[in-house]
Amino acid sequence: MKALVLFSGGLDSSVCLGMAVKKYGADEVLALSVSYGQKHVKELEAAEKVAAHYGVETIHLDLGAIFEGSDCTLLQNAHGDIPLEEYADQLKQSSGKPVSTYVPFRNGLFLSSAASVALSRGCDEIWYGAHADDAAGNAYPDTSPAFNAAIAQAIELGSGGQLRVAAPFIDQPKARVVAEGLRLHVPFEKTWSCYIGRDRACGLCGTCRDRLEAFRLNGVQDPIEYERNL
Amino acid sequence: MKALVLFSGGLDSSVCLGMAVKKYGADEVLALSVSYGQKHVKELEAAEKVAAHYGVETIHLDLGAIFEGSDCTLLQNAHGDIPLEEYADQLKQSSGKPVSTYVPFRNGLFLSSAASVALSRGCDEIWYGAHADDAAGNAYPDTSPAFNAAIAQAIELGSGGQLRVAAPFIDQPKARVVAEGLRLHVPFEKTWSCYIGRDRACGLCGTCRDRLEAFRLNGVQDPIEYERNL
């Protein structure tokens, strides 16, 4: 096995999966999806569909126990609701702290888990779909370029040089991820991004807003259905 | 809660726990122990005893699923035996790669898990007992000073500055860890370090050798029993 793709069933990681399969072939790619106690399983269902589309082996980890005690609003045990304002407004309310949908050190934990699985399965690359719009003005500090550089270095050093992190969109906006996905015919209609887990995407949460805007910038309509499309 | 101590029940992390309790008091310290599919549970039993000695709350995570597929000789699913030679000889056999007891990216995974738990529980410090002898000539690349610096930076950045990693022995030899533990009356007799899980410590595996030497350098006898004490 060559490459492990950290894979949520969302748009960004689905494009990464498409790129890795194109480069190495489905037999050399392993998709790792992680549940972490989130309120809905829509993205995990999406992950299964997209992985089946590409015919890659998938591994699923349940790391929900790690976040027991967290009050992140994406999690089942949270008290608050998922906010539907733009990130700039959310950041004003959080006084510079991460927003309420920040899952504590999630990306660090997922990438470290990916490193352990990749080494265990003989992969030498970890792919993940972080992009330049992810940090959303420090709403999610575990997506900043500085964080990404540090964790990639930790993984390379901590694996004794056996692993390398590939983040092909790290300095690109989300619109560029959509553009690459369109070029590679990634099955966007099978992906799921919305934080709310209803039948259709809400169109209002932070991730819906970002996704809709990225399609808009490409002059293309997002093939998934929305309750509301601003 | 103030500090989370990454805590295996071994000598180094027990000294860290003793230091954190002395600094903040038992009520402000959370001990996190992790099982990862290792062949025996002696160190987890030791962790319970030492945590009970200090009266701190403990959290236990089972991350064994992450290492399915690994052939690390510490793990239940491995085919090979735990080597009993000195690390220098093991490294010769592994041709510069990590030794067979290297658990894939274990420290990175454990520290990342610690970061997620610490943020979930409102701690702002992670303590762990890495020391300068740990890397054993790159036998364990996830213990090198360069790795430690990178992962500590990733945790600080990825938590939005909410977390800091305290590794009080990072540039000190293991003998210094023992010295500090003796000063603080850490219950060494309750700790467990040996890779082999028999009634008494083997005295021959890499970690027994290092532990015995650290006590010897302090002119003190290790209070635990050994099958063989070279």
Query: Which residues from A are below 8 Å from B161, CB to CB?
Result: 141
Suggest the residue from B34, B68, B148, B157 to mutate for an interface test with chain A (most A CBs closer than 10 A): B157
In a domain, A222, yes or no: no
Domain range for B138? 3-217
Strands A125-127 and A164-166: what pairing? Answer: parallel
Domain assignment present for B54: yes
Q: Does residue A226 belong to any structural domain of this protein?
A: no
- The residue of chain A with its CA nearest to that of B150 is A154
Evaluate whether residue B225 is within a structural domain: no
Q: Which long-range contacts (CB under 8 A, 24 or more apart) does A199-204 make?
A: A200/A224, A200/A225, A200/A226, A200/A227, A201/A225, A201/A226, A201/A227, A202/A84, A202/A226, A202/A227, A202/A228, A203/A227, A203/A228, A203/A229, A203/A230, A204/A84, A204/A228, A204/A230
Judge whether A18 lies within some domain.
yes
By the 8 A CB rule, do B31 and B57 touch?
A: yes
Query: Considering only CB atoms, which chain A residues are within 8 Å of B76?
Result: none
Interface test with A, best of B30, B66, B111 (most A CBs within 10 A): B66
* B96-153: pLDDT as tens digits: 788 888 889 999 999 999 999 999 999 999 999 999 888 767 778 888 889 999 999 9
Residue whose structure tokens are 């270095």? A153
ipTM of the complex: 0.90
CA dihedral of A120, B158, B164, B61, whole degrees rounded to 10: -40
Residue pLDDT, tens place only, B12-50:
999 999 999 999 999 999 999 999 888 778 888 999 999
pLDDT exceeds cutoff 80 at A53? yes
Strand-pair partners of A34: A61
Q: pLDDT of B168-206, one tens digit each?
A: 999 999 999 999 999 999 999 999 999 888 999 999 988
Cα(B178)–Cα(B184) distance, integer angstroms: 10
Q: Which residues contact A199 (CB under 8 A, 6 or more apart)?
A: none
- pLDDT confidence band for A195 (50 / 70 / 90): confident
Give me the residues paired with residue B226 across strands: B201
Q: Residue B61: pLDDT above 70?
A: yes
Q: Are the Cβ atoms of A104 and B116 closer than 8 angstroms? A: yes
Examine residue B224 and state whether it is found in any structural domain, yes or no: no
Residue B117, in any domain of the structure: yes
Minimal C-alpha gap between A213 and chain B (Å): 26
Q: Say how many domains are in chain B.
A: 1
Taking CB atoms and an 8 Å cutoff, what residues of chain B touch A65?
Answer: 61-62
The answer to whether position A223 is within a domain reads no
What CATH number is associated with residue A108? 3.40.50.620
Q: By mean pLDDT, which of A58-67, A138-147, B14-23, B212-221 is the weakest?
A: A138-147
pTM score, two decimals?
A: 0.92
CB atoms A154 and B67 under 8 Å: no
Residue A165 region by backbone torsions, left for phi larger than 0, else alpha for psi between -120 and 50, else beta: beta
